Amino acid sequence: MAFCKNPEKFFPVLTSPVLRDGAFKGKLALVTGGGTGIGKAIASTFAQLGATVAIASRNMEKLTLTATDITKNTGGICEPFQMDIRNPEMVTNAFDEIHKKFGKNPEILVNNAAGNFIMATERLSANAYGTIIDIVLKGTMNVTTELGRRCIQNNTGASITSITANYARSGGPFVVPSAVSKAGIETMTKSLSTEWSKYGLRFNAVSPGPIPTKGAWGRLFAGEMADCEENMKERNPEGRVGTVEEVANLVAFVSSDHMSFLNGTIIDLDGAQQHMHHGSHMGEFLHEWDKDTWDETENVIRGRTGKEKA
């Protein structure tokens, strides 16, 4: 048994905010890709905790619906801003609009906007992988440096948290453009945490494990969502997948002043999935061995080493 069979007992899912009400009162938070999925959950959590929230993406219609939904459900302030993060001019214009609306630049930025799909790398055209790199890596750089320059010029600080993936470090077959881009984001995070701390800017990244969302999983799996989720549960030590609310809670905590000494850090939230089999050849079959099999194995090894059991 390679995974927990009773996650509800040992690893319960809690969706309520960890921080106290009003924890972000007076703060302005910008969440890119805030119209759906993880981004929407992060924006909702910030609004629920008292922040004024700006959400940004290309799809203004979807953004407007999400902003209305968040405002209604949280009683907070959430405004939509159109931004194609691949376009530096559009990024600048969106920041201008945010400043015009709220009278200041964001003190919190969450780089969540991304693009990804599963494909054999030899089938990718230059346009296909270029699009992912333009969105994920260059787009994140566009937004981050735009805010950074404004903060430096105006002597205002900010917390910047980027959403990444653990395959940025381990490698990501069949999602190579995303893996390349996420690796760049993690390097950016660690580099700017030292270069720009003197300006009051701090940088961290959150790396979620399997989090079922219709948009992302629809491009990463060919099967039905429910089947994919069950498959992922059996590949996770905790026997379950994560939730968007868990990611949002972590991002909010990392972005808060409670974590002002946290800087240049990559945090994994994946139920230890990346450590399954400890990166070794010791496979899943070992979890299925019973006492007799282990006894037999121990006797064979002792016979080969000439050591008796103490």
Q: Which residues are catalytic?
A: 167
Helix (H, G, I), strand (E, B) or coil at 52: strand
Compute the Cα dihedral for 153, 151, 64, 68 and give only its sign.
negative
Q: Are 54 and 110 in contact (CB under 8 A)?
A: no
Compute the Cα dihedral for 78, 87, 106, 211 and give only its sign.
positive
Host H or E run for residue 14:
none
As a whole number of angstroms, the distance between CA 166 and CA 207 comes to 6
- How far CA 294 is from CA of 213, 289, 301, 308, 310, in Å, comes to 40, 7, 10, 16, 17
Record the tokens describing residue 133, joined without a space: 């790199």
As a whole number of angstroms, the distance between CA 302 and CA 309 comes to 8
Cα–Cα nearest to 202, from 257, 140, 142: 257
Strand order in the sheet with 108-111: 77-82, 52-57, 28-32, 108-111, 158-163, 201-208, 265-269
As a whole number of angstroms, the distance between CA 97 and CA 95 comes to 5
Q: How many CA atoms lie within 13 A of 237 on its CB side?
A: 10
